[in-house]
Amino acid sequence: MDKSPRTIYFHTTAENTALAKYLKSHHGLTTSSAEFKSILAGENWGLEKRLKTIFSFDSKTGRWDKTKDWDETHVILNTNSSLTYFSDLKGTVRDDYGTDAFDLLEVKQQIALILVWAIVHESNHTLQDSEDPTIDAQIGEVYIKNYEEKDYSQMQSEQESNEAARQFFRLLSKHLPQEFDSKYWEMQASRQEQESKH
């Protein structure tokens, strides 16, 4: 992963009730200095105010570039264990880490891995200089500024951060402790034995 020129601060929802209330069902959020302060104050900007306050629109690319306010970036991580364990993200992490290896872990270890995935995802956001949260609108080669929100899963900035987390877990799965190898084969043998009985 590249080095960010920004000063990065990491926080958890356990630190502050305002952070916990704002994130609710989200695993993490990367914010600028002004947005972070607004969250602590109990505010919820919404997309249009967020874009107008801490981004500038580039009509050549259609993307929203981060302003100087991002020189101080804050990453907030949701440490609610129940949310983490029963979330959709669990399936993603299980696939990226390796289903058999993941299933061998204790619940607290699985929760820790899900949090690691979220950390890598949000950390990648700190390296990005722009976002693409609005639907593209063009006249010729010029992009038109608008505030119509794009589907979250279609955002390139999100896809890039998901891929960064997947790459990290691919590397991680290649360096599993040797004990996992023996446990894996024991589990496979047990499965085959159970299948042969049916």
Going residue by residue through the chain (198 aa), what tens digit of pLDDT does each one get?
Answer: 556 678 999 999 999 999 999 998 788 999 999 999 999 999 999 999 999 999 999 999 999 999 999 999 999 999 888 877 777 788 888 888 888 888 888 888 888 889 999 999 999 999 999 999 999 999 999 999 999 999 988 999 999 999 999 998 878 766 665 455 555 546 555 666 666 665
Cβ atoms of residues 2 and 127 within 8 Å: yes
Residue in this structure with the two tokens 């119509």, named with its chain if needed: 148
The CA distance from 54 to 49, in Å, is 9
Q: What is the pLDDT of residue 9?
A: 96
Q: What is the pLDDT of residue 197?
A: 67
Q: Which pLDDT score is estimated for 122?
A: 95
**DSSP type of residue 150:** P
pLDDT at 108: 87
Q: Given its phi and psi angles, is residue 46 left (phi above 0), alpha (psi -120 to 50 degrees) or beta?
A: left
The predicted pLDDT at position 2 comes to: 58
Question: CB-based contacts of 193: which residues, under 8 Å, 6+ apart?
Answer: none
Angle at 13 between CA 7 and CA 19, to 5 degrees: 80
Distance, CA of 173 to CA of 161 (rounded, Å): 18
Residues 6+ apart with CB under 8 A from 102: 93, 94, 110, 113
pLDDT given for residue 84 in this prediction: 76
- Which residue from 70, 38, 64 is spatially nearest to 52, judged by alpha carbons? 64
pLDDT at res. 155: 94
